[in-house]
A and B are shown apart, each in its own frame.
Chain A
């Protein structure tokens, strides 16, 4: 049982939550994730990136978006409540080195997992350019945190309500065209965004690291539910990743696989919203 220490709503659907997890706080490195489960008997196990950790306090911070039943239930928890099961840190840590200039592209909630990586890259002496993208102004998160790290910060919204009215690939292309071109790119966000970031950098031969977010069950390498094709080979995201060379990932297969349970997830989500509505309107007490 892990006690929730802090909770904050960053935007309509995005929450930041801090809970106690001393073992994880002690060992975790940038790029790693955890698996959480809200109920030991019937809860599902979901992967979430570690956004931050404080080894002295023994706490770990996650940032998550409410996209289905489990994330809704998580968002319903308050400070002082407990999360039944938290496993981690999982996955390979990001390879951090002084590469030179690195472009970090974060899409939507992907800005959260990008943050510790950008932070570590900066600390290692890199010049860090950050591109943040979201559908609209309300969905832009962690702008202040990113400002502290970035040597250059570019914000894009799809509807132009804030920053540039562009997809993140537009400034990414501009940066690739600079002389000298960047030494590396890191892209984290929805699969379609990572795919197009990789396509953008490919002609410029800028090495592009992506952090994949496949379906997972155990997160320890024992089921292969998270497998992806990378350079023609099958890899397990939970143990071989989550980071891979974006130019080698078969994104089309990965996106199809992400939809494996779509029908059931949609039903479950609708059911969850109904239950929430009943609770909000006090209908359950009638």
Chain B
């Protein structure tokens, strides 16, 4: 993939739409329609700003992309979506230009289309089983379901067509939702719809979870998250920030003393993993969580106004190959680093990061080193990072998960110079709730144990999202939340 300017993409699309006019499309014609690239900011410009990189489809592009859909009777895409959106349904109406109806079809099952359309890894979810992709033998050529979803959500937003879900008459029953990330937002809306009083507790000063502290502005504008929270408030959900359940109040007290009849735990996987290698506590070594929280939530990128300082990094190593690593690397670049290097111990093919984000990172000039892993972090003057001692790796036999296990190449170590190291090798569940809540079962990774209905080992306590799954995706968290909400609503209807 190489960068194509937005106006060029628009021009092409206008031409194609003209050719389509009045034409009856057969499946073969649909398969030969050009897949629409996402217009984006020029890499040279965007690497110096925090504005959204992907600009969203032009209307003509939506038309073409939606016409690529074969409207399969079996609709394998639906089963690829964790909340089972009627994908052919919303794509058909989008192709007809009825975006309002299209959005209403999405909203039946998904609350956050503007967010999911942007951050879902569609290539491993809805777009993976897409017949078009299969026919063209390339998952990257599947119908761009996420981009169409994003378009209709943004269209409604731009037209001011906000829909606040209907709320049934008050039942007088109270539900506590802990955390305000995607799982919690879903539960809050679904439970509130039934007329129950919903209180959402968030530890940070701003709600949204990873969508505000983790995913950068250039990938997910914070305005969109704020709008979703605003919609919840309009439904009557009560939000309390600066409230750390476990410390400010214990779960058992919420039930026994504060009158909550059910509790949902959606506290996510926010505990950064470190590698436990030498030098990890040197100055200039950060968890991706810390780096991203400073940049995003604390707005350190706004150097004029933000009171939160950010480390002045010149040559940065980012360790890891997931989306968080991409976000950290691209943020460091935007904060003024001259060079950013990503070190990953497997090959590009095994990277868990989205293909699109890796492509964006490359376009912006980030350097990738595959089959490399740090052995230790080297100390320079005054306790600061001087560089990394790096080991070469090769791929060995497949492990339990089917991925080929990286094996270190003996005596292959060499040194690389860096002044900053950002560790992005994953997150574990935050253990605070577990530690402060006797009777709540967790597994060996510290994830809360919940059954398929979101029920935990504690009476009236439910859980979902990353605190149950381990670090996963926004849409999976929503799917989990939906099931838990159903269980809560059933419990309260008795």
Given contacts A85-B242, A87-B242, A261-B311, whether A223 and B276 have CB atoms under 8 Å apart is: no
Given contacts A224-B272, A234-B281, A268-B309, whether A89 and B293 have CB atoms under 8 Å apart is: no
> Is A23's CB under 8 angstroms from B248's CB?
yes
**B456 interface contact, C-beta 8 A:** no
**A41 interface contact, C-beta 8 A:** yes
> Is B205's CB under 8 angstroms from A44's CB?
no
Interface-lining segment among B98-106, B229-237, B300-308: B300-308
The distance from the CB of A214 to the nearest CB of chain B, in whole angstroms, is 11
**In the complex, which residues of chain A have a beta carbon less than 8 angstroms from the beta carbon of B248?**
23-24, 27, 87-89
Q: Which of A70, A90, A225, A250 contacts B290 (CB 8 A)?
A: A225
Query: Cα distance A89–B383 when bound, in Å?
Result: 32
Q: Mark A6-28, 1 if CB is under 8 A from B, else 0.
A: 00000000000000000110010
Q: Name the CB-closest residue of A to B308.
A: A44
Q: Which of A88, A223, A257 contacts B283 (CB 8 A)?
A: A257
> Is B307's CB under 8 angstroms from A217's CB?
no
**B218 interface contact, C-beta 8 A:** no
The distance from the CB of B22 to the nearest CB of chain A, in whole angstroms, is 52
Q: Mark A237-262, 1 if CB is under 8 A from B, else 0.
A: 00100000000001011001101110
Q: Name the CB-closest residue of A to B270.
A: A222
**B298 interface contact, C-beta 8 A:** yes
Interface of B is mostly: loop
> Is B432's CB under 8 angstroms from A42's CB?
no
**In the complex, which residues of chain A have a beta carbon less than 8 angstroms from the beta carbon of B307?**
39, 42-44, 69-70, 268
**B184 interface contact, C-beta 8 A:** no
Q: Which of B244, B298, B306 contacts A217 (CB 8 A)?
A: B298
The distance from the CB of A221 to the nearest CB of chain B, in whole angstroms, is 6
**In the complex, which residues of chain A have a beta carbon less than 8 angstroms from the beta carbon of B290?**
217, 223-225
**In the complex, which residues of chain A have a beta carbon less than 8 angstroms from the beta carbon of B151?**
none
**A229 interface contact, C-beta 8 A:** yes
**In the complex, which residues of chain B have a beta carbon less than 8 angstroms from the beta carbon of A253?**
281, 383
Interface of A is mostly: mixed
Q: Mark B196-223, 1 if CB is under 8 A from A, else 0.
A: 0000000111100000000000000000
**In the complex, which residues of chain B have a beta carbon less than 8 angstroms from the beta carbon of A261?**
309, 311
**A220 interface contact, C-beta 8 A:** yes
The distance from the CB of A66 to the nearest CB of chain B, in whole angstroms, is 15
Q: Which of B276, B284, B289, B298 contacts A44 (CB 8 A)?
A: B298
Q: Which of B287, B299, B382, B431 contacts A223 (CB 8 A)?
A: B287
The distance from the CB of B279 to the nearest CB of chain A, in whole angstroms, is 10
Q: Name the CB-closest residue of A to B383.
A: A256
Query: Cα distance A39–B205 when bound, in Å?
Result: 10
Query: Cα distance A222–B284 when bound, in Å?
Result: 18
Q: Name the CB-closest residue of A to B240.
A: A23
**A183 interface contact, C-beta 8 A:** no
**B430 interface contact, C-beta 8 A:** yes
> Is B283's CB under 8 angstroms from A256's CB?
yes
**In the complex, which residues of chain B have a beta carbon less than 8 angstroms from the beta carbon of A218?**
203-204, 293
Q: Mark A30-52, 1 if CB is under 8 A from B, else 0.
A: 00000001011111110000000
Most central of B242, B294, B430 by chain A CB within 10 Å = B242
Query: Cα distance A228–B282 when bound, in Å?
Result: 10
> Is A224's CB under 8 angstroms from B287's CB?
yes
Query: Can you list 22 pairs linking A and B with CB atoms under 8 Å apart?
Result: A23-B248, A37-B205, A44-B298, A69-B307, A70-B307, A85-B205, A87-B203, A87-B243, A87-B248, A217-B290, A217-B298, A222-B272, A223-B293, A224-B286, A225-B286, A234-B276, A239-B432, A250-B281, A256-B382, A259-B382, A261-B311, A264-B309
